[in-house]
């Protein structure tokens, strides 16, 4: 996202600047354009300034969501609902860190802390990441989680 701001810049002409500016504005309102008396009027230029500093988002300023299930171990699986952390630059790409708990089901939950694979570009200009990790060992077993996350803009 970026913000566009337009401002008027006045070039100095001859005579009384205030009167000329008012005259220029009146001429625009009445005739739709500045009259041919440009030499005696201030010429109002429109200058567009695109602010990129504080409003510009970095390509690394994003995260991904995912909705998946763990592997089936001990005759059950858990839902894994996740939102990754922000991008971490790595080589020519980036990765994401994620940690949390799979849904509490069957009387227990499992903790996970994982790092995604590098970004995988999609044809529409967005990208995804592959995830492959194991949960903590709880209640005598652990689960594998694998798959791709939801797409995000950029590469």
Domain annotation covers residue 58: no
Tell me the C-alpha to C-alpha distance, in Å, between residue 42 and each of 7, 18, 32, 89.
15, 9, 16, 51
Helices (H), 32-137: none
Domain annotation covers residue 59: no
Q: Please state, as a whole number, how many other Cβ atoms lie within 10 Å of the Cβ of residue 11.
A: 10
Least reliable range by pLDDT among 1-5, 35-39, 138-142, 146-150: 1-5
Domain annotation covers residue 83: yes
Look at residues 126, 65, 125 and name the one whose alpha carbon lies nearest to residue 100.
65
Tell whether 88 and 118 lie within a shared domain. Answer: yes
Q: For residue 56, what pLDDT is reported?
A: 53
Structure tokens at 111: 């903790």
Domain annotation covers residue 96: yes
pLDDT in tens, 60-105: 889 999 999 999 999 999 999 999 999 999 999 999 999 999 999 9
Q: Which residue has the tokens 């020519």?
A: 92
């Amino acid at each position: 996202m970026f913000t566009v701001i337009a401002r008027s810049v006045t070039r100095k002409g001859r005579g009384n600047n205030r009167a000329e500016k008012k005259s220029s504005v009146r001429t625009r309102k009445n005739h739709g354009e500045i009259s041919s008396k440009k030499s005696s009027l201030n010429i109002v230029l429109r200058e567009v300034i695109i602010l990129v500093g504080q409003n510009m988002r970095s390509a690394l300023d994003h995260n991904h969501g995912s909705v998946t299930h763990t592997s089936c171990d001990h005759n059950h699986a858990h839902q894994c609902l996740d939102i990754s952390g922000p991008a971490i630059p790595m080589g020519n790409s980036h990765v994401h860190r994620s940690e949390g708990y799979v849904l509490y089901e069957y009387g227990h939950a499992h903790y996970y802390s994982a790092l995604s694979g590098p970004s995988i570009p999609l044809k529409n200009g967005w990208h995804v990441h592959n995830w492959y990790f194991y949960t903590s060992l709880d209640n005598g077993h652990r689960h594998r989680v694998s798959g791709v996350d939801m797409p995000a803009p950029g590469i």
